[in-house]
Structure 1
């Protein structure tokens, strides 16, 4: 969005809450998937073209939203779906449980700087990852590369078939089991797939000092709800079992935008806690405030962030100028 609006001739400033720009590109995606010199190169090009970047600016906390609204002709909120889904199980307060992006951020900062402040070092430790998506896979790959003693990945849903089922023909999206780089590396190191399907955490078990030592899991089975017809994963009585865990990394997805940002600007949220806009629009309920990306559509892909950034830039340009010739 900043790139497009700057090329149109607007004076653009980007406020970033972290110490480096890039959001999830910088700290949520490990270096082995996206080397950070790519982001640094793009930042340098944009700065030379006139875009201003202000880092360590946590708008809604260290920077007042009211000041930004007052000082600028238009504001775009592109703060991501950064409210992580938690696991509410007994023993959640144990030491050694981290949200996935927090763990990945600490790891990336250590790789970039060599400093160990706040670094979560999984070398020689038993690691349990909760969640089967891309972020969970990144946690698996990172723990393997750090030299973890064991890595287990917990998935609630049943394992998908290795090949297309009869009711999933081309050109439908293939609903098949995907083994990504993290799982491939775990298989190469430990000799087995790290994933446990149809299971969830029942309890986090710590020692007397409060340090996590084990997790109690319970097996799940799919059952159709008689009223709604929805397929729910329900616990199988008596199926509990324990596995060792020095660290648990929660990669269970995101619930939407962090509410302090939305409250600071006074924008309305929808039922999914994303910033509300009219269908096909990026304008929020507050005058001259727009939104785009995960904050607008919910947790999604980088390519959708790029797409929405271009679309919101076009809408902001038209709002400011009365017309737009942005693509």
Structure 2
């Protein structure tokens, strides 16, 4: 078998890229799982980018209009009249994107494991048989623990965390996400409650499973009412290079992940568009440069992540006092962008009163953000 492009990994980003390329190239997609979905993923995607990327409406489970932020002792809410994000069904999202790619001519090899490269060909294990597939260009979209990245010898400097999430029965405001920042309960990350509807939600955090158990008790959600449990890793940092010879990485395999929220679908898809551009131009080495916006967001997120890990709960409470003020909430509600966290930070720091208050809380925080 021979193709122009072989994509290894049929997650949202791999399937989105296949859809972008299939009309102009012969494309094959390899997926080690026997079906789509299944990965631990909350599945929140900003509404603006969901529309811009033309993602399938069929995958939307719920529209999210705002969020309530909780610390140990206080809370504040932000919201808008239009949906700011969508909660999606990961399985449906992947299937629908794969169907689009197939209709444009892409071939899919499910239950097929990528083993490495031999003499310029991809070595695959499919239904007990070893296959060798030749392609002009190979793309690793095979997740945080990317085999493609290991095979081409990329260097990784990143923080890796385990994520734990449950779907649980309870009572929820279906229009709003809950974000809980309490290091006494979840020391490594925030905890989230993302409603699917009024009686079920996806609840999770990163770090240790015990942190999720503590949070469920804090939120008064019963462990005997859990409908589903999922776990999986995430990586915050850099994996380089993104292109080596005729092999590229995209999505989670390139760690194109928000260090602020651990979301990776949008950043991966935006980079997939840039990889398509570089391939069309016959200059795959330009891929890194074309992803400059995503790289700036990751760089900002890593600074924010380092600052967060260094803050104690008392400092977080003081930051909550500032962000919960009427002026800060007005800035967030009118200027914040779901996927552009750098823009949101800059908007807050342009307000002299807010800047002065945040400097008092943590001068190093402001120095790093500026």
Shorter-chain TM-score bucket reads 0.3 to 0.5
Say which one has the larger Rg.
1
User: What TM-score does the superposition give when structure 1 sets the normalisation length?
Assistant: 0.41
Q: Which has the higher contact order (CA 8 A, sep 6+)?
A: 1
Name the one with the larger helix percent.
2
